[in-house]
Amino acid sequence: MGKIIIMYGLPAAGKTTQARKIADKYGLYHFAMGEKLREQIASGSELGQKIKSTVDSGLLVSDELILEVLRDVKNQAVETGIVFDGFPRIVDQAILLDQMLDEVGLEVDALCLLKVSSEAVENRINDRIATENRGDDKDKSVVENRMNVFLKESVPLSEHYRTKGKFYELDGEESIEEIFDKLCKIIG
């Protein structure tokens, strides 16, 4: 059984970059909620259409829709371990994840918050718009709403894992390698 790691932070904080590096080094499954949601949207399925209307408005996807996207997570957690990228975002989702993992005798090993300034987020999103053509980055009001939701929800979610001794905060504005080295020390 592998580790269960959560990468957490504002949009463009570096979660995906670090999650990919962790997945490669430790052989963990990289579960990128944003990518899973975009795949569902691109599929044009009924689930994808529901997700699209939520994402387009800048709101968080409901737990009901999240459960659909998460359906194979338990098996993957047991087989290889998982590094979550963009999930959970709120305490209710963390509790849902905790319950799912408990069913297979696992628990979250670490929630790693990559802390970045709003200026860094803006610069990184502008860079990402130029290279990745992500629709969710192009609408400034949607990005602003995502940031506001994160700021509102980050304290309770961080506290949820802090009380379990699983919370780690890192400077997300350090170099990719400096952050990765610190993450490796946390993961062990």
For 34-54, write each residue's pLDDT tens digit: 788 888 899 999 988 989 888
Q: Is residue 143 part of a domain?
A: yes
How far is CA 124 from each of CA 3, 64, 175, rounded to the nearest angstrom?
Answer: 29, 31, 13
Q: Is the peptide bond before 88 cis (omega within 30 degrees of 0)?
A: yes
Report residue 68's pLDDT band, with 50, 70 and 90 as the boundaries: confident
Report residue 22's pLDDT band, with 50, 70 and 90 as the boundaries: very high
Q: Is residue 186 part of a domain?
A: no
* pLDDT for res 135: 61
More confident position, 86 or 134: 86
Q: Is residue 187 part of a domain?
A: no
Beta bridge partners of 115: 171
Q: How confident is the model over 107-128, as a mean pLDDT?
A: 86
Q: Is residue 185 part of a domain?
A: no
More confident position, 11 or 43: 43
Q: What is the CATH number of the domain that holds 100?
A: 3.40.50.300
Q: Is residue 123 part of a domain?
A: yes
Q: Which bin fits 58, alpha (ψ -120 to 50), beta or left (φ > 0)? A: left
Mean pLDDT, the chain, rounded, equals: 87
Q: Which domain holds residue 135?
A: 4-179
Q: Is residue 50 part of a domain?
A: yes
The pLDDT of residue 16 is above 70: yes
How many domains does the structure of the chain reveal?
Answer: 1
Report residue 108's pLDDT band, with 50, 70 and 90 as the boundaries: very high
* pLDDT for res 82: 96
Q: How confident is the model over 54-80, as a mean pLDDT?
A: 82
Pairwise CA distance, residues 60 & 62, whole Å: 6
Burial 62-99 (b: 16+ CB within 10 A, else e): eeebbebbbeebeeebeebbbbbbbbbbbbbbbebbbe
